[in-house]
Amino acid sequence: MTTAPFASSATPPQPPAPPPAAPSWRPASLRADSAIVGLGVALLAAAIVISTLYSRADGDLDWSTYAVGLVATIGLLVVGAGIRLTYAGADGTTDLSAWPMSFGAVGAGLMTGVALDDAAASAYVAGLLVLALAAVAYVLSPSAPPVVAAVLGLLLVYAQTLDDTGLVDTEDEGFIQAAVAVAVFVLLVSAVAWFLPGARVVVGVAAGAVAVAAYLALMAAIAFASLFAGFASFDPEATGPPEEPSYDNDVYVILALATLLVAAWLVAAYLTDAPGFRLVGVAMVASVLPAGMAVLAVEHPSVWALVVGALGGAALVLVAVRARAVATQSRPTPPAQAGPTSPPPPPYVG
């Protein structure tokens, strides 16, 4: 009778089998629902924006137009919360509830701002309402969209605070103050979002896109101010030609702050390996730097191009050299040639 060999006590136990890998794709039904939710949120968000723009087009509140935005906002909030309660936080369903609730939070702020009109506290009330609703949405569906909505509410409160305190004078040419305010806001919200792993990349990249757009707008405003500076400074009683104001320092400060932001994004790209941070870094350098050169009216742009191109080329060459070194180290070595073989032993004769 054959018996199965039993393991010796010295035999180490076999490691447990690894758990099956989680599927990288959600079921087709959830993916279809996600696309449908995206379409519905986009259409309702458009209705809210239209209502915001036209509810007070004639000065007085148009209740018919305002009601459309109000119903769309309530619908987003209620349907988003209903989807969350229906699925009870099942895997792969977060975005189905997070997107409607997040855009509903922003819509609630917009509708509140329209209702309060030009009240002194309208920006604060609307911004804080967005923050509160976004916080609730994040508790129900922890993900990036509620954090982005909270950033928009914070931006509203932040901008109104800067205006009320006079840190950024909107009636004067406070280009440097505005550039510093943008950089502080971007770094602040990115630092806060860094402690929320599900939102750090989306919020950081979205804030970066805002910074790129804001700095381009500041460059355009400086160019516009420089164009009409001569007319504004004309003095009929002056004996000599008018002295035009210079905005070179403003441009240099903006370029320095842009460099700081790009450095922060490169560090974030290294830590997260997210391509979005590299994308906003490229967008900032490739757009704001040429815009600054145009505003400065540099005499030798070829020198700037040569220096920037040389630095970029050196960076790529460095990576190419490192790639060659890594490829050489990982290349398999050929097997060593065997030495002279000894003759085989004579056959055994019994």
Question: Contact at 8 Å (CB) between 98 and 145?
Answer: yes
- pLDDT attached to residue 337: 59
**pLDDT score of 9 more than 60:** no
- pLDDT attached to residue 341: 60
Question: Contact at 8 Å (CB) between 187 and 133?
Answer: no
**pLDDT score of 12 more than 80:** no
Question: Contact at 8 Å (CB) between 103 and 45?
Answer: yes
DSSP letter assigned to residue 267 = H
Between residues 347 and 51, which one has the greater pLDDT? 51
- pLDDT attached to residue 173: 65
- pLDDT attached to residue 167: 73
| pLDDT tens-digit map of 143-160 | 889 999 999 999 999 988
Question: Contact at 8 Å (CB) between 211 and 182?
Answer: yes
Q: How confident is the model at residue 350 (pLDDT cuts 50, 70, 90)?
A: very low
Q: Could you tell me what percentage of the chain is helix, strand and coil, using 3-state DSSP and rounding each to the nearest 5?
A: 70, 0, 30
- pLDDT attached to residue 24: 47
Token pair belonging to 246: 């210079």
Q: How confident is the model at residue 23 (pLDDT cuts 50, 70, 90)?
A: very low
- pLDDT attached to residue 198: 80
- pLDDT attached to residue 321: 83
Distance of CA 217 to the CA centre of its chain: 18
| pLDDT tens-digit map of 119-146 | 778 889 999 999 999 999 999 988 889 9
**pLDDT score of 14 more than 70:** no
- pLDDT attached to residue 242: 53
Query: 3-class SS at 129?
Result: helix
Distance CA 297, CA 147 (A): 41
Residue 195's nearest CA partner among 159, 263, 132, 142 is: 142
**pLDDT score of 17 more than 60:** no
Distance CA 309, CA 185 (A): 31
| pLDDT tens-digit map of 31-77 | 888 899 999 999 999 999 999 999 888 888 889 999 999 999 999 99
Angle at CA of residue 267, ends 263 and 273, nearest 5° = 135
Query: 3-class SS at 277?
Result: helix
- pLDDT attached to residue 316: 84
Q: pTM value?
A: 0.73
| pLDDT tens-digit map of 244-259 | 667 788 899 999 999 9
